[in-house]
Amino acid sequence: MSARLEPPRLVLLDRDGTLNRKPDEGDYITTVDQLELLPAAADAVRRLNDAGVPVAVVTNQRGVALGRLTRTQLGHVHAGLRACLDARGAQIDRIYYCPHDRGACRCRKPEPGLLERAGRDFGVPMAQAAMVGDADSDVEAGRRAGALTVQLVDDGTRSAADLTVPDLAAAVDLLLAR
């Protein structure tokens, strides 16, 4: 995948840890007040928008299956995310989420279901898409779907991703320079 030299036709972003601060393990963002964009995330999304690249969020939301938040609450959080980005001139084209528990479906990352659905909806083959996220499950989902994978990691962290960078801004720099 890393040999591809053109910018992707679709960028898929994980949510927690990629666009916004990740909650502590076992915690879930249940209100808009808990949502905090990461530095430069909105600018990175805006640069993809300006380049004409569709942007979709693909996120596991197991908290729904565990009863920690409802689909309605999750919808409010996602509306808040869109509003935060919109206030900074950035836009997410679609948000896809998996509300299921582990092992219950084919849409929960590292399964590729959400990514494949996004590709179909946007009419973009996964070989022309990029998956950007902070977790190994994001990388594995991208690999299984056939997308270029970019993992947000600290220096020296091992990764199976095609590309590794410290944050979303650096990921967008690399993707748009291809």
24-41: average pLDDT: 95
* Active-site option among 14, 134, 138, 162: 14
pTM for this entry: 0.95
**Per-residue pLDDT tens digits for 129-147:** 999 999 999 999 999 999 9
**Per-residue pLDDT tens digits for 87-145:** 999 999 999 999 999 888 999 999 999 999 999 999 999 999 999 999 999 999 999 99
Residue 1 pLDDT > 70, yes or no? no
**Catalytic residue at 154?**
no
Residue 72 pLDDT > 80, yes or no? yes
* Active-site option among 16, 134, 138, 162: 16
CATH top-level class for 10-177?
alpha beta
- Side-chain half-sphere exposure of 20, counting CA atoms within 13 A: 21
**Catalytic residue at 50?**
no
